[in-house]
Amino acid sequence: MSKPGISPAARVNRIGRYEIKSKAGEGASGVVYRAYDPLLDRDVAIKLARVQSLSEEEYQQVVGAFYHEAKIAGKFAHENVVTIYDVVSNAGLDYIVMEYVPGRSVQDYMDATGPLQVDEALAIIYKCCMGLGYIHFYGVIHRDIKPGNIMYHPAQGITKLMDFSIAHRIEEPPVRDNGTIAYMAPEHFDEERRITLLTDIFALGSTMYRILTAKYPFNHKQTAFQILHHDPKPITELRPDIPGEVAAIINKAMAKSDRERFQSAWEFAKQVETVMQRLYPGSELIQNSGRYMH
């Protein structure tokens, strides 16, 4: 059973009350538009479900993921997390209305510029830690931290976590095979271990490795086996200019065992801040964490 909706090739001028300005991006399950809300006089981002030609079961899965994302993240209000305003199902259209964030994903930025400079990478990771610390405080595990799920605008100092479509509350049993395998922690592949808040720590460490090298920490062959049993190639072999202190942060974040990782996003952030202040004294790329951590 196919569903109504907007053809991916169609020109869209309006969705609900929102006036479409431009397409901002698209993925397998949806298209994101930059739009204008005339009622509240503000720009927004609209994530429209791609539901044409889906079976009834596939349709329910896509729409269910939209409502799951909105329910999980709809209460969040933090400068390093994209804000969700509403989720709508109307006239055959299913969409999420979100804060419009200028810029592009870290993945898109890295594709255009190549590996990031060390200070810029530290600033991004620090702000991601701030966002993670916030959602972890509310008992939510993101489960898909990666460069493509981080919005970034260097000139405005914006870094925001996005896409909570497979996030879950810590008290709920997770689905182990969801996520992006290149950034998954070992516990995803070991049924005797629990998926916890520290799973996001590992994924953020993998993200840090990726944005500094433009390479995945584990290659595409037998990735799960490598994550379980092998260490990634030392980052200093790929980039000799990476300071040892930065390499140590990545190694700790990507430790195989829970007890050897950073025990919280706050601890991760504090170490990044300490290294940043030592390597780049006077840098204003990160803000002091004292207002968040005690």
CB-count burial class (<10 Å; 0-12, 13-18, 19+) for 4: exposed
Give the integer Cα–Cα distance in Å for 70 and 84: 7
> Cα(234)–Cα(107) distance, rounded to whole angstroms?
21
CA pair distance 193, 190, nearest whole angstrom: 6
> What single string gives the DSSP state of each residue in 121-135?
HHHHHHHHHHHHHHH
The token pair at 43 is 């720009």
The answer to whether 119 is a known catalytic residue is: no
- What is the spatial distance between Cα 199 and Cα 136, in angstroms, rounded to a whole number? 11
Q: Please pick, among 94, 144, 163, 258, the residue that the annotation labels catalytic.
A: 144
Instruction: Compute φ and ψ for 39, nearest 5 degrees.
Output: -70, -45
Beta carbons of 45 and 35 less than 8 angstroms apart: yes
- Is 12 in contact with 33 (CB distance < 8 Å)? yes
Rounded to whole angstroms, how far apart are CA atoms 133 and 78?
Answer: 10
Asked if residue 209 lies in contact with residue 239, where contact means CB atoms within 8 angstroms, the answer is no
Six-digit token pair at 56? 């009834």
- Contact (CB, 8 A) for 94 and 51: yes
Active site residues: 144
